[in-house]
Structure 1
Amino acid sequence: MRNHESACRRQQEARHGMQLGSVSMDVAQLGVVNMNDATDTFNSSIEPGSDTLLGMHGTSSQPDELSHVRESDALAPPGSDVGQNSFYIEIVPHPASGKKSTIIPLDSSGAEKTHEHEVIKAALSCPWRPFNNLADFEYAEIAINSHKANATIDKELEKLHSSWASHTVITFRNHKDLEASLAAARFFVVGFQRGQVTSSFNGQDYTFSFYYRDPWEEILGRVRDASLCAVSMWYPVQKYIHIGTGRSRLYDETCTGDGWWKIQDTLPQVDGLPHCFLPLHVWSDGGRASTTVTKHPLIMRPLWLPSEIRNGSGNGGGVLLTYMPSIPDPAKPSERTPLERIAFGNFKTDVYHKVVDKVFEPIREHSHVGDTVTCGDDIARVLYPGIHIISIDHEEACKACGTRASPATYPCPRCLIRNDEQHNLSIERELRTTESMQAIYLEAKAASSRTAREAILQKYGLHFVENAFWSIANSDPYAALSYDTLHSDDIGKWGKHLWPLLLQVLSNMKESEMLATNMNLVPTWPGLSHFSCVTDIEYTDGNKHFDILRCILPCIVGILPRASPLIHCIRAYSRFRMYASLKCMSEGRLILLKRSMVLYGSLCQKVGNEYGKDWDFPKQHAATHLPSDIRNKGATINYSTRPGEGFQREMKEAYRTTNFKDTERQMSQVDANMEAIAHIRLQVDDADRLRREQEDKARKAAEHQNFEHTRAPTTMAHLHKAQSDKQWIFRAAQPRTYPSSLRAVQDSFHRFHHFASSLRQFLLTLAEGRELLTIYPFQCIELKFQSREDWKEGRDLLRCNPSFNGQPRFDCVMINTEHAASYGRLQFIFICRLPSGTELDICLIRDLEPSTWKPRTKWDGCRVFREGKLMFVLAKYLIRGCHMIPAFDSPSTTKYFYLNDLIDGDMFLRCEKM
């Protein structure tokens, strides 16, 4: 036992020294230069355990109650021994911006905050115009957003003007009145216009009609919006994290990548007239509007706005440009010859590019010469739009790049890798570029015969189609095409390859039921799906596949043979998948990403040799392009197709409201109605906010400030208020009680019969005396922490409840200790009020200690824990929550658990350091 008095003294000194979110991480993982100096400075400024300080553990003289006294030396507040700005983020803007670097300290209290601006528009007397009144607008908003049918609207309005309400102020009488107001409201948004393209196939012309929005008008609407200008990123930046005297490049938002910076270098620099590149994000994916109808929406997003805004559905979010025409196949693909398949693929690709050419025609000239626009901040800028990111699946990518599909000799739309080399993740081939592919197209066009032309195109896997993106400046489709974790990983490498292979292996072993049983016993975790019969359902949702991956290893390690290569392959892949989805990447993380990718590729070959699996497919090879994507376009969240998947639900609802004839025209109008309603809602909300602020100012001015402050008796409201400025908050309050009435605290495995005496002993270690007054129990705790993923605030909501939704729920936590983080399971959380008036937030925790027991196949990063004794810990020493999965193959005499490091990026990085 450590010296008790020394520990108590240090505890008293550190009690009020808590700071939220001090960060400790592996410097090498960040890729910091000048490693020796950086490491020395870093280690002197960051505590060895983790983000927060560890509380004093409980003590007891009874042998079977608490563990023996476990006291941890409290540490000095983070950053107390180092100079200012030893740990910070530096943002270096492009020289064309004329701005200086920005410093964001990270070794002070509080995590990095998202830079937010708020512009309150002038109050409008009638912000709901062109609707007659607010009630009309609110009814229209509900009707449009819930996609009500005209018959339903007519029936509701009839009832509102008769038996449902006696004095309704809604002026609509039927859906025609509503449509008249909506038609006027649509003038606030960019409308749809009709377009046509014609292409030939087998000597016959086919004409396709579609409805589309003008992308330049949509761009102007955003750059002229004062509220969006306040958060617009007009120039690229380079972001660095500094640790001591070392620094490492960071990549998060698109503006931090090299691609935007290089484009900005090519633009003119004129004093007093900024020239700015406006990068665009294009997303498209086919989706089922009904069981028999497929639609292909094309969405555009403004990359100069923060990801929280552009990926949302509100002001500044993505906008529907068009529905790409569906091209029915006049014959069975299996009955075609190879040349006929190429000809039909050429036809579909030609139609695709003619539609793209028509839709983006308004930005073509501006992309080359720019257009002077007075923006919402009253600054005139010369704007150069360009398509910087394209997020689509592989089939769509082949169309966008004009390349042939997977059977081609060169199937990758981004490089010239051969079909039989796609399994090799350690090689890189020549990249396709606009210049090189355009030259091949022109060479084929000048060929003397069709046979000669085909020979030229076949060597590069190209269709004989003039790519529409070639004519738009700074819109190289091969560079814009981006890695997507949804299609390439969750429903790609994992969902369509590794997961089916695993199921087949288990089926051959007659162990599928065991996997289903184990997965059903995995404890719940916020944001993690629970699977009761994982082997009986064929999942198509990428999120479900990712959730399976995050829990799979503990569930199969006791089933598969010892030293199974499949275990190691899945682990290597899961590490690659976690690195790929980090919201902020550093040079060090990029190195680790590439290492995990190469290791995964080599293990795939071992799995292939054992199970006969072929790894030559495009989504396997696509991983080789990920590191360059991150360097050029920022983190993968910028080009994920997941935000676009939400539009598929809206598309289905819009289709349902049509009469199933000329559906795209009607669906386009539904989208325009929703845009108009959203525009007016912003005005209504702005007016309401300004009104409330004015009322608050008037109320505060009228209040008398001369009142006597008296200490109110302790109440739940008082306790919650006292916690509001801490990094933890107790929730789900229970009736107050007294220690004497807590004769036993029940947990899943043991009873603790000496709560009061052990709590008194624990209080003595804090120099708080032995007398207790009142205990206020809670069943939930919210922990705030600084995420190691992006240094912003993270939150965990943890339960300590014997019956949460009918099931016991006792979540696990990470606790700060002197040398490394420790772990435990919440058993009881409470506020203890002492006679002195001191209130302590305390947690009773079942210790989870590292175990020497090992599974039959120990994977890289496998960490096993066993249950230990009960102990008291002050809540301020809890770092964050953690997910423990039972070791189903462990000895039955003791409870063993695997630490799940795949729940999120922060936990993954914390465990990677261990």
Structure 2
Amino acid sequence: MVSSHGPTPPTLSSIAAETSVPSGLDTFKTEYHPKSGRATTIETFSTFGRKQDQWLPIIDEEPWQPFSCRADFEFAELAHNAALNKDHTDELLRLIWRIAEGHAKLTFKSHRDVSSAWDRAASQMTPFEKHTITARHKREDLAFDVYTRPLWDWALDLLQDPLLAPHFVWDAQRLYKHDGAHYERFYHEPWTADRWWNVQSSLPENGVPFAFILYADKTHLSSAGTVKAYPVFARCGNLPVPEDSKEDGKLSYVNLKRVVWHDGFLKLLETIILYAKTGYAHLCSDGIVRWLYAFILLLSADYEEQCVMALIRGTNCHCPCPICLVPSDKLYDNASTYPIRSPEDAQSCVELWKKNKAAGEEALKKRGLRPVMNVFWQIPNSNPHETISQDHLHVYHIGEWGKHLFGELKRHAVALGRSAEKKIDDQFAAFTRWRNLNHFDRVTNITYSDGNKLRDISKQILYTTQNVLTRTDDEAGYALLQCIASYLHIDMYVSLDVHTESTIQAGKAEVLVFQTHLEVCFCTDPDATKNWNFPKMHASKHIFDDIIAKGAARNFSTRPNEKQHGPIKRWYLRQTNRKDIANQILVLDHKSFIAEFIRSRIEFLDEERHKLTLSREELEDNDTDDEPFEARLHIGSPLRTLTSLAQVEEDNSSNRAFDCFRKKLATFLNHFLPSHNIPLPDGIHFHGHERRDCALIRTQDKDGHDKYIFVKLLFVFKLTVCNRTLDLALVLPMDASPRRRLLDRDLRLTRLRARPAALSEFVTLHSIIRGALLVPDFDNHGDYFLVDYVDTDMFLRVQRNLI
């Protein structure tokens, strides 16, 4: 491989390592950064990624310290999470002591005891600090308070935790999987991507990166929106603003807010600026002293916050992208490439503005920049235009889909009349339920703001509208469905937790396919109300480059951090007096931080203790490649009573799938049992229950070759044969040949057709590869669609024809 810094000559050790294990389909190659001093390795699937198992378990008998005992910590945690006030806490403790006196080791007897325990715990963790920032506006000095937990002090808390120590990753890696012909690179964690590699290349010989991931977004605390907060969350990448005013919108005030934002962020970052330049010597758990160089790996934020971070002027400026200089009228054109922004160019424009306001303003406006010094310019390897990342939630689920494609689709449904809207809603209500997929009874006349619900609607929309927005009834609506199908492909490629060079190229190609379909929509729909020339449309130009540079999109998604807004809002509503709320919320946040820290230690150590109780043989069994079948298959609760085969056949006499139930089963057992060295039985014990799920199974054709088909599970049961229990199912194969339709190709749908019910078969549950979500084609009885957007595994199986 050749990095951006030029080819790296192989070393004798790396050559030896590469030749020590034969290349093959089941091998992985890890190429470490040259400065790590580590040789390239080639490992089989069974050993790849299991380094963490080499560490001896760390057992701490009292992980709840500095609380007096585990029960004290768990009570304090519960009281905090439940937002109990002083009176509630005292009453609960009195009740506990009345009921359980002498039966539990609990030392708390008042709210004061609980508070004292929190204080003892807080004294051992890095506290928040208050900073006052002043900025001049209209000849007046304005003051703003900023509260920060010093980043480097927080980092030292992590580095000093013995439970986290084994999990830190320091050196950049390039990972490859053999595909049968050559090694293909893949990406997932940040240290497997290019940006980490390039940062480590820029450091001194003994330096290693210490990466910070920052998320920032304002949130409304009060239901009226008058009280706001601006939380900033930090995450260690080495491990798996002032309120608005009536003047808001005026140029001078907007610039003031940007000044305050960057001055405030400076207070957060100032403890790492020095170590980003000089490094910090730290004795790591493996006995090696490493020079850690802090840097900002990535910034996770919505577009509005990205504009603040990059100090650009937003959607209406000449160049609205925080990463490149795409003109404002070319945001829809992802086939073209424009120069990437640079801090040096921005700095020179700001310096010019300081010397000559007119000339400087012209230069700034041409690039869409604001005349403010960017805090990230002070931190090496933290170029804001490289760290800003495209957010999956806001760009796609809320943006392209929620605010644009979905809105257009509902407009088409309205134009077709109330019967069309009702048909769509009825088909949503009839949509097959699936775990972790929201179910909707209607969608056409409801507005959603929840990104998760919008995402789940998008996964179901093609199957519930394909017989409504038809080519005959609504040509423009049909073109829109083609556009949505392409959008869903991009969304699924972005959703991958592990990327290969092939999936990234496929994702980039799909971005151009989407653009083509969008242009068709423009041509066929003169009544279109949406403007597709917007910044989030342009984000697809950069998102796959972000993945190459920083790893899978989950690393820079705002979705996990958006959930942190909920506790802040609850604290404000339930546990503050609505006065001086910053101090009160920070105290509550500090308690949550401590509680999560201690809880994670307790759970980790409980798990380690459990491991130590296992025998050596059990540990070895758990370390095999093949997961026990029962551990990966969940078929629901079995019936508690035994029943006879004859009774099953009689109870289902009206269902053709159960015709000749006993005869079919006998034929199956006569073939299956001898082939698995199980003697034919004298008697059979049986119990089972009906299922309505579908699955992808591996079976054999008449020539004995493996084939993969989808089936509907009709009846799942257990048979006890010669003291062996068999997990079996009566299934209806979905391998009849359907009549292919033009819309299947246009909307990229996988159509399946069920066999006649009388042609049901028996299979062993061990032949099941995975569950499958099938929904009926509501206008063609017996036809079904495979919902391949339900997860990335099924999506890739369809794309690679692995079914």
Asked if TM exceeds 0.5, the reply is yes
TM-score bracket for this pair, using the shorter chain length = 0.7 to 0.9
Deviation at 1:863, TM superposition (A): 1.8
Match in the other structure for 1:487: 394
- CA distance in 2 between partners of 1:163 and 1:762 (Å): 60
Of residues 236, 246, 249 in structure 2, which corresponds to 1:330?
A: 246
Deviation string for 1:455-486 (max 9, x for gaps)? 12100101110000000111111100001110
Match in the other structure for 1:884: 774
Match in the other structure for 1:360: 269
Match in the other structure for 2:552: 635
Structure 2 residue 122 is the aligned partner of structure 1 residue 212? no
Of residues 239, 260, 285 in structure 2, which corresponds to 1:305?
A: 239
Deviation at 1:100, TM superposition (A): 2.2
Q: 1:406-445 maps to which residues of 2 (within 5 A)?
A: 406-445=315-354
- CA distance in 2 between partners of 1:749 and 1:500 (Å): 43
Deviation string for 1:765-817 (max 9, x for gaps)? 336487562244345xxxxxxxxxxxxxxxxxxxx54xxxxxxx433434445
Structure 2 residue 28 is the aligned partner of structure 1 residue 94? no
- CA distance in 1 between partners of 2:767 and 2:534 (Å): 48
Match in the other structure for 1:240: 176
Deviation at 1:678, TM superposition (A): 3.3
- CA distance in 2 between partners of 1:300 and 1:895 (Å): 52
AA in 2 matched with 1:426: A
Question: Conserved in 2, the CA contact under 8 Å of 1:440 and 1:457?
Answer: yes
Deviation at 1:851, TM superposition (A): 0.6
- CA distance in 2 between partners of 1:254 and 1:515 (Å): 42
Structure 2 residue 626 is the aligned partner of structure 1 residue 626? no
Q: 1:307-706 maps to which residues of 2 (within 5 A)?
A: 325-331=241-247, 333=249, 341-447=250-356, 450-510=357-417, 511-562=420-471, 564-609=478-523, 610=525, 611-612=527-528, 613-655=530-572, 656-682=574-600, 684=602
Q: 1:218-229 maps to which residues of 2 (within 5 A)?
A: 218-229=154-165
Structure 2 residue 635 is the aligned partner of structure 1 residue 760? no
- CA distance in 2 between partners of 1:164 and 1:288 (Å): 42
- CA distance in 1 between partners of 2:329 and 2:262 (Å): 29
Q: Structure 1 residues 682 and 601 mapped into 2: Cα distance closer, same or farther (>3 Å)?
A: closer
Of residues 116, 139, 143 in structure 2, which corresponds to 1:203?
A: 139
SS in 1 for 2:152: helix
SS in 2 for 1:627: helix
Deviation at 1:329, TM superposition (A): 1.9
Structure 2 residue 741 is the aligned partner of structure 1 residue 854? yes
Between 1:759-768 and 1:659-668, the stretch displaced more is 759-768
Match in the other structure for 2:622: none
- CA distance in 1 between partners of 2:739 and 2:51 (Å): 43
- CA distance in 1 between partners of 2:416 and 2:747 (Å): 25
- CA distance in 1 between partners of 2:566 and 2:112 (Å): 26
Deviation at 1:213, TM superposition (A): 0.3
SS in 2 for 1:743: helix
Deviation at 1:857, TM superposition (A): 6.4
Q: Structure 1 residues 523 and 409 mapped into 2: Cα distance closer, same or farther (>3 Å)?
A: same
Match in the other structure for 1:832: 719
Match in the other structure for 2:684: 774
Of residues 217, 221, 228 in structure 2, which corresponds to 1:285?
A: 217
AA in 2 matched with 1:898: F
Q: Structure 1 residues 483 and 695 mapped into 2: Cα distance closer, same or farther (>3 Å)?
A: closer
TM-score, normalization: structure 2? 0.87
More helix by share: 2
AA in 1 matched with 2:637: A
Q: Structure 1 residues 648 and 119 mapped into 2: Cα distance closer, same or farther (>3 Å)?
A: farther
- CA distance in 2 between partners of 1:683 and 1:83 (Å): 41
SS in 1 for 2:432: coil
Q: Structure 1 residues 908 and 570 mapped into 2: Cα distance closer, same or farther (>3 Å)?
A: same
- CA distance in 2 between partners of 1:677 and 1:771 (Å): 57
AA in 2 matched with 1:668: L
Match in the other structure for 1:63: none
* Gaps in structure 1 of 5+ consecutive residues: 1-81, 307-324, 334-340, 701-721, 780-799, 802-808
Q: Structure 1 residues 620 and 152 mapped into 2: Cα distance closer, same or farther (>3 Å)?
A: same
Q: Structure 1 residues 164 and 831 mapped into 2: Cα distance closer, same or farther (>3 Å)?
A: closer
Deviation at 1:188, TM superposition (A): 1.9
AA in 2 matched with 1:373: H
Question: Conserved in 2, the CA contact under 8 Å of 1:224 and 1:374?
Answer: no
SS in 2 for 1:625: helix
Percentage of identical aligned residues: 28
- CA distance in 2 between partners of 1:167 and 1:819 (Å): 60
Q: Structure 1 residues 837 and 133 mapped into 2: Cα distance closer, same or farther (>3 Å)?
A: closer
Q: Structure 1 residues 686 and 264 mapped into 2: Cα distance closer, same or farther (>3 Å)?
A: closer
Question: Conserved in 1, the CA contact under 8 Å of 2:395 and 2:536?
Answer: yes
- CA distance in 1 between partners of 2:248 and 2:653 (Å): 63
Deviation string for 1:677-712 (max 9, x for gaps)? 3344455556666776777789x9xxxxxxxxxxxx
Deviation at 1:381, TM superposition (A): 1.1
Question: Conserved in 1, the CA contact under 8 Å of 2:30 and 2:40?
Answer: yes
- CA distance in 2 between partners of 1:374 and 1:442 (Å): 42
AA in 2 matched with 1:351: V
TM-score, normalization: structure 1? 0.77
Between 1:365-374 and 1:845-854, the stretch displaced more is 845-854
Structure 2 residue 135 is the aligned partner of structure 1 residue 135? no
Question: Conserved in 2, the CA contact under 8 Å of 1:119 and 1:230?
Answer: no
Deviation at 1:726, TM superposition (A): 7.8
For the aligned residue pairs, the C-alpha RMSD in angstroms reads: 2.8
Question: Conserved in 1, the CA contact under 8 Å of 2:653 and 2:659?
Answer: no
Deviation string for 1:4-47 (max 9, x for gaps)? xxxxxxxxxxxxxxxxxxxxxxxxxxxxxxxxxxxxxxxxxxxx
Deviation string for 1:556-613 (max 9, x for gaps)? 1111131621111000110011011111111111111011101101211221231434
AA in 1 matched with 2:668: F
Q: Structure 1 residues 83 and 748 mapped into 2: Cα distance closer, same or farther (>3 Å)?
A: farther
Match in the other structure for 2:228: 294
Of residues 253, 259, 263 in structure 1, which corresponds to 2:195?
A: 259
AA in 1 matched with 2:482: H
Between 1:238-247 and 1:259-268, the stretch displaced more is 238-247
Question: Conserved in 1, the CA contact under 8 Å of 2:645 and 2:686?
Answer: no
Deviation at 1:376, TM superposition (A): 3.4
Deviation string for 1:432-455 (max 9, x for gaps)? 1222222222222222xx333221
Q: Structure 1 residues 368 and 159 mapped into 2: Cα distance closer, same or farther (>3 Å)?
A: same
SS in 2 for 1:388: strand
- CA distance in 1 between partners of 2:724 and 2:602 (Å): 47
Larger RCO: 1 or 2 (CA < 8 Å, sep 6+) = 1
Match in the other structure for 1:51: none
* Gaps in structure 2 of 5+ consecutive residues: 1-20, 619-626
Count of residues in Structure 1 that have an aligned counterpart in Structure 2: 746
Of residues 717, 722, 730 in structure 2, which corresponds to 1:844?
A: 730
